[in-house]
Amino acid sequence: QAYRGRLRALPRNPMESGLFYEKSQIKIDRLIWHHDGRVAITILTFQEGTVPESFVVVCGPPDVIAEEQQRYRVHASKAFGSSNTILSGQAETTHYAAITYSLAGVDVEHVQAFADLYQNGSEKRFNTALDHLFQQTLTAWHQATSFRADAQKLDELYRERFNWASRGITQEVLNDRMKVLVRQVPTLGCNISYNAKQITIRFRDHERSYPNPVSLLYNIPDSGHPLLVINTPGYLSGDNILVDANHQTWLTDFSASGLAPLLWNFVTLEAAIRFDQIDTNNLQALNEMEQCLVESELGRLNIQDVDTSLRKPAKAIRAIRQHALHEAGKDSLPHHIGMLFQAMNRLVDFNPALHPTVNELVRFTHLLIAAAMIAGKIEQAGQTKTGGAMTAEIGIRIDQDNGAVRVDGRQAHVTGQSFILLAYLYEHAGQRCTKRDLIEEVFNIPYREGDESQVGRLNTAIRRLREKIEEEPSRPRYILTATSGGYRLALDPTSG
Last residue of a domain, one of 347, 372, 390: 390
Burial class (CB within 10 angstroms; exposed 0-12, middle 13-18, buried 19+) of 279: exposed
The number of folded domains in the chain is 3
Rounded to 5 degrees, what are φ and ψ at 482?
Answer: -75, 145
Give the pLDDT score at 21.
45
Verify that 136 and 155 share a domain, yes or no.
yes
Verify that 347 and 474 share a domain, yes or no.
no
The CATH number covering residue 31 comes to 3.30.200.20
- The contacts of residue 151 (CB under 8 Å, 6+ apart) are none
Distance CA 202, CA 193 (A): 8
Residue-wise burial string across 176-191, b where 16 or more C-beta atoms lie within 10 A, e elsewhere: ebbeebbebbeebebe
Nearest to 133 by CA among 257, 277, 233, 230: 233
Verify that 299 and 403 share a domain, yes or no.
no
Condensed to tens digits (0 to 9), the pLDDT of residues 268-321 reads 999 999 999 998 999 999 999 999 999 888 878 888 878 999 999 999 999 999
Distance CA 380, CA 383 (A): 5
Verify that 312 and 332 share a domain, yes or no.
yes
Distance CA 245, CA 379 (A): 44
Last residue of a domain, one of 105, 140, 162: 105
Verify that 145 and 213 share a domain, yes or no.
yes
| 42 within domain boundaries | yes
What is the identity of the amino acid at 353?
A: A
Condensed to tens digits (0 to 9), the pLDDT of residues 132-146 reads 999 999 988 887 778
Give the pLDDT score at 495.
56
| 7 within domain boundaries | no
Distance CA 204, CA 190 (A): 8
Last residue of a domain, one of 340, 356, 390: 390
Give the pLDDT score at 77.
63
Verify that 123 and 261 share a domain, yes or no.
yes
Give the pLDDT score at 393.
64
CB atoms within 10 A of CB 106: 19
| 482 within domain boundaries | yes
Distance CA 262, CA 241 (A): 20
- The contacts of residue 264 (CB under 8 Å, 6+ apart) are 161, 230, 232, 338
Verify that 275 and 359 share a domain, yes or no.
yes
Verify that 323 and 420 share a domain, yes or no.
no
Verify that 380 and 270 share a domain, yes or no.
yes
Give the pLDDT score at 313.
95
Verify that 246 and 329 share a domain, yes or no.
yes
The parts of the chain modelled with pLDDT lower than 50 are 1-22, 79, 82, 386-391
This prediction has a pTM of: 0.78
Verify that 359 and 245 share a domain, yes or no.
yes
Domain that holds residue 214: 113-390
| 149 within domain boundaries | yes
Three-class SS string for the chain?
Answer: CCCCCCECCCCCCCCCCCCEECCEEEEEEEEEEEECCEEEEEEEEECCCCCCEEEEEEEECHHHHHHHHHHHHHHCCCCCCCCCEEEEEEEECCCCEEEEEEECCCCHHHEEEHHHHHHHCCHHHHHHHHHHHHHHHCHHHHCCCCEECCCCCHHHHHHHHCCCCCCCCCHHHHHHHHHHHHHHHHHHCCEEEECCCEEEEEECCEEEEEECHHHHHCCCCCCCCCCEEEEECCCCCCCCEEEECCCCEEECCCCCCEEEECCHHHHHHHHHHHHHCCCCCCHHHHHHHHHHHHHCCCCCCCHHHCCHHHHHHHHHHHHHHHHHHHHHCCCCHHHHHHHHHHHHHHHCCCCCCCCCCHHHHHHHHHHHHHHHHHHHHHHHHHHCEECCEECCCCCEEEECCCCEEEECCEEECCCHHHHHHHHHHHHCCCCCECHHHHHHHHCCCCCCCCCHHHHHHHHHHHHHHHHHHCCCCCCCCCEEECCCCCEEECCCCCCC
Distance CA 432, CA 461 (A): 17
Verify that 291 and 406 share a domain, yes or no.
no
Give the pLDDT score at 221.
81
Q: How many CA atoms lie within 13 A of 351 on its CB side?
A: 5
| 10 within domain boundaries | no
